[in-house]
A and B are shown apart, each in its own frame.
Chain A
Amino acid sequence: MKDFFARLRNLDERWGYSILAVVAVLFPIVVPSNRWIQVANFFFIYAMLGLSLNIILGYAGLFQLGHAAFYAVGAYTTAILSTYFNVPTFALLPISGILAAIFAILISRPILHLRGDYLCIVTIGFGEIVRIALRNDVSSLVFLANIPGLAFLKEKLGNMVITGGPNGIMGIARPRVFGFVFRQQWHYFYLFLAFVAFTIFAMRRLENSRLGRAWTCVREDELAAEAMGINTVQVKLLAFALGAAWAGVAGGLYASWVTVIAPETFSFWESCIMFCIVVLGGTGSIPGVLVGTIGMIVLPELLREVLVNIQQWRMLIFGAAMIFMMVVRPEGLWPSQRFRRELELAKEMAVPGA
């Protein structure tokens, strides 16, 4: 078994992805069950989210635990513009991505100097602020009218509805090309597949680009990176912007797929799932993120099938499985070579027997 995996890893990656692509294209034909195609669609959305978080967490090594905020910005951009202004979905996806990126730059610029766990809590904080803001909607800002001089806000804000409060937004338009409307699960399946394929392609290019190497450099040693002439602030901002843009597009796709979104879809737990996808799969590794997505998204569904009689034990077993997977393979299920080396180096530096 170990030998099999070793050989699998040494296989030229392009072969691997080609085989995967063929399997994926055939999937809805071989498995014509709507439920599993739906699970596959969730897999695609989270694979995109995982790959986007992988830029920030995996490549640049920035401790980001509020990724759901960017996902939410994308989803709500698509939802609001499509329901209020009837903008077609495919025009909205780039807008969602760009807005999420701008949002990311605005919030990450002042906090880039924070390190490790402090950055972690601040990103959690931003994630929560976004969720609370979406749930409260603008009409809850009516308290501002108590400030002297702002009394005129009372009438303006009182009845304003933008995000739809806790109920969210319904009736988001489905994507449409040349009169063809995406309706069935398998329509979305191929749409998402195309997006994920493009994401993987782009990430592979990004990984080996000048920017990608700069990210790795910043992650491994920020001081050395700076000494080598890398503008660390700019590079980190770009990581946030690109990661957020991708998450924003994923959010737009999600909104146009389910057509109903609510603030609780973008809770802290969602950020945790994305975080686990990256770390469980293998930080900084593209195949790792895909495997991690299977672990975090498909595994609970598989458990639902397997544990027919003990359904209520499902999440208990899932939690134990997360601990087990991490303890058995701390470097992730499919780690990148570079990350594995870093880990081994760290182990050598540690005192033996400690």
Chain B
Amino acid sequence: MGQLLQQLLNGLTIGSFYALIALGYTMVYGVLKLINFAHGDLFMLGAYLGLVTLMGLVVNMGLSANLLIFLLIFLIVMIVVGGVGVVLERVAYRPLYKAGRLPPIVSALGASIFLQNGVMLLYGARYRTFPEAFKRAIPDVMWTFGGARLTLMQVIMLLISFLLMAALYLFVNYTRVGTAMRAVALDHDTARLMGIDVNRIITLVFIIGPALGAAGGIMVGLFYGRIYFTLGWSYGLKAFTAAILGGIGNIPGAMVGGLLLGLIEALATGFVSDAWKNAIAFFILVLILILRPTGLLGERVAEKL
């Protein structure tokens, strides 16, 4: 029982990371019907920039690592990575919107290679570790109940990701810009006739998506303490799976899919075999898609490649 509870908590934590990254995939897909394969690398860039700003502010400038500094770092990194997302969209995707479904994927893979190797050139090919000092900035409080352990770190991570997700949900559903975003997702041309600047909405999506991914990157870095330049591939693939699982293009779907994938993985690790956890996750994805071809929360729409 204790182990089950523990795995559920672990699954929830990692699932919330997946959900944050999955939001980027699903938002871009929603407005552009494009799979942004470089999104995982933007997440990785977020992790690296998080480490770099943390080192810069705390180690070099001698500021104490308190909650305010952490929030500042999140803000800086999210803005920078959002900017990179906008540049990426302008350079690699915008010229290809009318070229069908396949060319943007190749362009995205090219961008992914570019980002990975760029980070490798800047920060080295070996993995980087977050100094223990930062971990100590968050008090090492731990609760034990029912045989399961929950750390303060986990609680903070869960809190941040749920706050970000709730903010996004409210933004998309209850603001004018959010309404415009949903309109663009439904139909570009009609949205344009309604006076919506479609390109600006696309730009906005490419700010918000990568920014959320970058937040996920910093949290993964803080939580596991170790990052490497191919991080984006493993997490990106998982998050993309999560987005599809929930029904791609659907924002609550990405959250549900991410959490579910995290839980599946944790349970597979705890009760079956760690070596097979990814295979099991993909297998369950295939099963769900066979039964519900457009994901858990996806709408049943006919679409053509």
| A residues with CB within 8 A of B | 57, 61-63, 110-111, 113-118, 120-122, 124-126, 128-129, 132-133, 135-136, 140, 143, 219, 221-222, 268-269, 272, 275-276, 279-280, 283, 312-313, 315-316, 318-323, 326-327, 330-332, 343, 346-347, 350-351, 354
In the complex, residue of chain A having the shortest beta-carbon distance to the beta carbon of B102: A279
Is the CB–CB distance between A136 and B241 below 8 Å?
A: no
| Chain B interface, number of residues (Cβ within 8 angstroms) | 56
Q: Which 7 A-B pairs have the closest CB atoms?
A: A322-B110, A319-B113, A330-B99, A319-B114, A125-B282, A323-B110, A316-B117
Contact of A125 among B113, B117, B286 (CB under 8 A): B286
Is the CB–CB distance between B276 and A346 below 8 Å?
A: no
Minimum CB–CB distance from A108 to chain B (whole Å) comes to 11
| B residues with CB within 8 A of A | 29, 35, 91-92, 95-96, 98-107, 109-118, 121, 188-189, 192, 198, 233, 237, 240-241, 244, 248, 272-273, 275-276, 278-279, 282-283, 285-286, 289-290, 293-295, 302-305
Minimum CB–CB distance from A347 to chain B (whole Å) comes to 6
Contact of B101 among A116, A121, A276 (CB under 8 A): A116
Check A315/B109 contact, CB under 8 A, given A114-B293, A283-B102, A327-B92.
no
A-B contact list, 27 entries, CB within 8 Å: A117-B248, A118-B248, A121-B241, A122-B286, A126-B286, A129-B282, A132-B275, A132-B276, A132-B279, A222-B304, A283-B102, A313-B121, A316-B117, A316-B118, A318-B110, A319-B110, A322-B106, A323-B107, A323-B110, A326-B104, A330-B103, A343-B100, A346-B98, A346-B100, A351-B189, A354-B189, A354-B198
Contact of B29 among A117, A128, A219, A269 (CB under 8 A): A117
Contacts of B289 in A (CB 8 A): 111, 114, 118, 121-122
Minimum CB–CB distance from A125 to chain B (whole Å) comes to 4
Bound: A323/B290 CA distance, A: 34
Contacts of B111 in A (CB 8 A): 319, 323
Is the CB–CB distance between A326 and B244 below 8 Å?
A: no
Contacts of A135 in B (CB 8 A): 275
Contacts of A62 in B (CB 8 A): 305
Is the CB–CB distance between B285 and A322 below 8 Å?
A: no
Check A327/B286 contact, CB under 8 A, given A120-B35, A279-B102.
no
Check A121/B240 contact, CB under 8 A, given A111-B290, A128-B282, A346-B98.
yes
Is the CB–CB distance between A115 and B110 below 8 Å?
A: no
Bound: A143/B277 CA distance, A: 12
In the complex, residue of chain B having the shortest beta-carbon distance to the beta carbon of A123: B286
Contacts of B29 in A (CB 8 A): 117
Bound: A350/B240 CA distance, A: 29
Is the CB–CB distance between A354 and B188 below 8 Å?
A: yes
Contacts of B112 in A (CB 8 A): 319
In the complex, residue of chain A having the shortest beta-carbon distance to the beta carbon of B247: A118
Is the CB–CB distance between B106 and A343 below 8 Å?
A: no
Bound: A345/B273 CA distance, A: 51
Bound: A323/B103 CA distance, A: 9
Is the CB–CB distance between A140 and B244 below 8 Å?
A: no
